[in-house]
Structure 1
């Protein structure tokens, strides 16, 4: 199973993205997306931003669950209080596990935001952040 994670800023700019595979059921963590789908992942995820903007004002929860579908892929969303969007493209429905992943990712993002060397809507290029996101993926997905 493959995943594509995107963190989108408050100005709809890409802050961070990562494609990875599952570690469950003997997976090695590498993405199994075909070359065509791998190139389309950013476009698929960004196409759901309009849906998020409609849903976030009618729902008081930060975790919006599955908000969109593209062929056999689902898009789950989490919107922070600062209007930063976490989007995950995945194949199977696992709302509770994805919610836990998003909550820990939010905690990691807030710690990054507290750094004096980082400002809101700036791209995250930290290797430490990348490693910790991969650790979260290994733990939950």
Structure 2
């Protein structure tokens, strides 16, 4: 079974600072665009939730098909 994970560090202004794909699945340009779309959709939820909780790890924030978005929020609010 091929699996992949996308790790992204996003700045305060929703600008991706670092992005890495980890896993054994074949990389497709279509998948990269899908990951960007899911990331930006989840950021709206993160921005609202980050102000209402003191937790730094926001588990399974969002789901899309078989993809799960988990978030760590730093003290400097970089998600």
Q: Normalising by the residue count of structure 2, what TM-score does the alignment of the two structures yield? A: 0.85
- d(CA) in 2 for partners of 1:65 and 1:77? 6
Please give the alpha-carbon distance, in whole angstroms, between the structure 1 residues aligned to 2:32 and 2:22: 11
Question: Is 1:2 matched up with 2:1?
Answer: no
| Corresponding residue for residue 62 of structure 1 | 56
**Which residues of 2 match residues 1-141 of structure 1 at below 5 A?**
1-21=3-23, 30=24, 32=25, 35=28, 36-85=30-79
Larger Rg: 1
Q: Deviations over 1:69-128 (max 9, x none)?
A: 01111000011111111xxxxxxxxxxxxxxxxxxxxxxxxxxxxxxxxxxxxxxxxxxx
User: Which protein has the bigger strand share?
Assistant: 2
Task: Give the ranges of 4+ consecutive aligned residues of structure 1 lying more than 6 Å apart after TM superposition.
Answer: none
Q: Which runs of 5+ in 2 are unaligned?
A: none
In the TM superposition, residue 34 of structure 1 has moved relative to its aligned partner by 5.8
Distance change in 2, residues 1:33/1:46 (3 Å): farther
C-alpha change, 1:79 and 1:33, in structure 2 (3 Å) is farther
Displacement of 1:40 after TM fit?
A: 1.4
> Greater share of helix residues, 1 or 2?
1
Rounded to whole Å, the distance in 1 between the matches of 2:11 and 2:21 is 18
